[in-house]
Structure 1
Amino acid sequence: MEETIIPKTSTVLTALLRADFTTLWRNRRAVVMVFLVPIVILVSWKDLVAKMGAAFALSNSLTYGLIAIGLMGYTNSIARDRDKGIFQRLRVAPGPNWTIMISRIVVQLSMIALVTTAIFIVGYDYDKITLTPAGYALTYLTAIVGGAVYLALGQIIVGLIKNPETVNSTSRLVYFSFVIVGIFGGMGMLGKQIQEITQWSPYGTVKTILAAGMVPSSWTMDSTYALLATLGYTLVFATIGIKNFKWNTK
């Protein structure tokens, strides 16, 4: 009688990570687009750095990058792989199901770190923006917290919608809605009431904690409230998204 050898969970997770990072590299054109949007915004807002401050320009640009990762990168990759039956095949492989999603999330967290680093490099090279060591460290932490909101929001989209084309169009619509309302609503161009709503929306709370993280001495109670709101959004979005997620499109 042959003995069935079940690989360790760590071995399975390592294999999944290797495969997911390889897939990310093969889809590098899509990755470039994720980097391009926040960098273009940062470069085009050069004149606002002197007027509104470096933290304003960097936090806004980075927020758009985080939105792109969660709503464009993560959401569409999950929908595409589910439609191709990849998740179904992975589920019958030895290893717990949670390793599948953990691998995907680790890849997205790596993207968050890379986009944050790219924003820092462009900000320094083009706008001569520098932060303190504490500012850099805290920004990475707040970027991960902020990015989790949009990953969780993306999870809702793939949880409630099965068709990959509909997922793609919905994620784009939500993405551009965040961008447009964030730019104009955040600056008060759509009225005072919309500005206040924007401030406490996922876009506004993430931007607030990013800006405060870049200048730790500016952290206030409002920043703490924004952090708590961000964590609350993440918890609610993740709960809804995970509860409604299906491993196949049938």
Structure 2
Amino acid sequence: METTIPKSSTALAALLRADFTTLFRNRRSVVLALLVPNIILISWKGLVKHAGGPFVLATGVVIGLMAIGLMGYTISITRDRDKGIFQRLRVAPLPTWTIMLSRIIVQLFMIMLLTLVVFVVGYQFDGILLSTGGYILTFFVAFIGGAVYLCLGQLIAGLVKNPETVNATTRLVYFLFMMTGMFGDIAQFSDMGKLGPYLTSMAHWSPYGCVKIMLQASMEPAKWGHDNNVALMASVAYAIVFAAVGIKNFKWESR
């Protein structure tokens, strides 16, 4: 009997249907991923007058990107690896690269949805309105920032095999990044003595800070400058390093 090998496009389309179906069935986790950044966005309405709309919007988007990359992508691929789904897919007559590409496309959809929802909430509740160029550029920068956290998630999934440990690690990293960003913002707008400049610098060049700097400047394209170019290069470097180590150490089975 002759074995029929499907085209790569056919295999990818089938995987995308399955992954989007799974995303729909887990819509509560999608709602939670969108809820946290928008709660922060609404609660920080008072900061719009002092820090500016782009600052508040960028904070909401970057926190959402962390949730998608760490809590969404990492946990989902670790769960599927532990259940043996990847092993079954690998013996199927389809290219291996389509398995991960399908997952990444779903996460890119989530990034687009998150950015759109933050824009709508920011306008409806905080009265933040950007230029057309600002909206378009922010979408592109959000994909770059999302790639940083997707690659960080890949790094965690590659280095840690146990799903429970992965779950704990992603939550810890999410918390640390959020606190780093929050303390950096507080140090920027308040007098914290000698500790202030160090906290600001650490938050500024962390993955959180670099992504936020890019997002904030992309909302006002005229203000994009050298500092933002450095943040862009640093973000790309973070993504490359995270992806290289994560892919190299990734195992298709948990045992």
- TM value normalised by structure 2: 0.96
CA–CA separation in structure 1 for the residues paired with 2:78 and 2:170: 11
Partner of 2:171: 172
**Could you say what secondary structure the match of 1:137 adopts?**
helix
Query: Are 1:197 and 2:198 an aligned pair?
Result: no
- Structure 2: which 5+ residue stretches go unaligned? none
CA–CA separation in structure 1 for the residues paired with 2:163 and 2:48: 39
Query: Are 1:60 and 2:59 an aligned pair?
Result: yes
CA–CA separation in structure 2 for the residues paired with 1:88 and 1:151: 22
CA contact (8 A) 2:183 2:199 kept: no
CA–CA separation in structure 2 for the residues paired with 1:113 and 1:4: 39
CA RMSD in angstroms, aligned pairs only: 0.8
Partner of 1:233: 238
Q: CA deviation at 1:75?
A: 0.6
- What are the equivalent positions in structure 2 for 1:2-17 lying under 5 Å apart? 2-17=1-16
**Equivalent position amino acid for 2:209 in 1:** G
CA–CA separation in structure 2 for the residues paired with 1:142 and 1:50: 24
Q: CA deviation at 1:96?
A: 1.0
Partner of 2:215: 210
- TM value normalised by structure 1: 0.98
CA–CA separation in structure 2 for the residues paired with 1:113 and 1:191: 34
Q: CA deviation at 1:218?
A: 0.7
1:183-216 per-residue CA deviation (whole Å, 9 max, x = no partner) reads: 1123315521121011011100000000011010
CA contact (8 A) 1:60 1:207 kept: yes
Q: How much identity, in percent, do the aligned residues show? A: 60
- What are the equivalent positions in structure 2 for 1:1-250 lying under 5 Å apart? 2-188=1-187, 191-250=196-255
CA–CA separation in structure 2 for the residues paired with 1:81 and 1:114: 24
1:109-133 per-residue CA deviation (whole Å, 9 max, x = no partner) reads: 0000000000000001001111111
CA contact (8 A) 1:186 1:204 kept: no
CA–CA separation in structure 1 for the residues paired with 2:2 and 2:149: 44
CA–CA separation in structure 1 for the residues paired with 2:47 and 2:204: 19
CA–CA separation in structure 2 for the residues paired with 1:206 and 1:186: 14
**Equivalent position amino acid for 2:33 in 1:** V
1:137-179 per-residue CA deviation (whole Å, 9 max, x = no partner) reads: 0000000000000000011111011110110011000001111
Q: CA deviation at 1:3?
A: 2.2
- Structure 1: which 5+ residue stretches go unaligned? none
Aligned residues: 249
CA contact (8 A) 1:67 1:147 kept: yes
CA–CA separation in structure 2 for the residues paired with 1:138 and 1:240: 29
Displaced runs of 4+ in structure 1, greater than 4 A?
A: none
**Could you say what secondary structure the match of 1:191 adopts?**
helix
- Point out the more displaced range, 180-189 or 166-175: 180-189
Q: CA deviation at 1:17?
A: 0.4
**Could you say what secondary structure the match of 2:173 adopts?**
helix
CA contact (8 A) 1:7 1:95 kept: yes
1:198-240 per-residue CA deviation (whole Å, 9 max, x = no partner) reads: 1011100000000011010010011111001100100000000
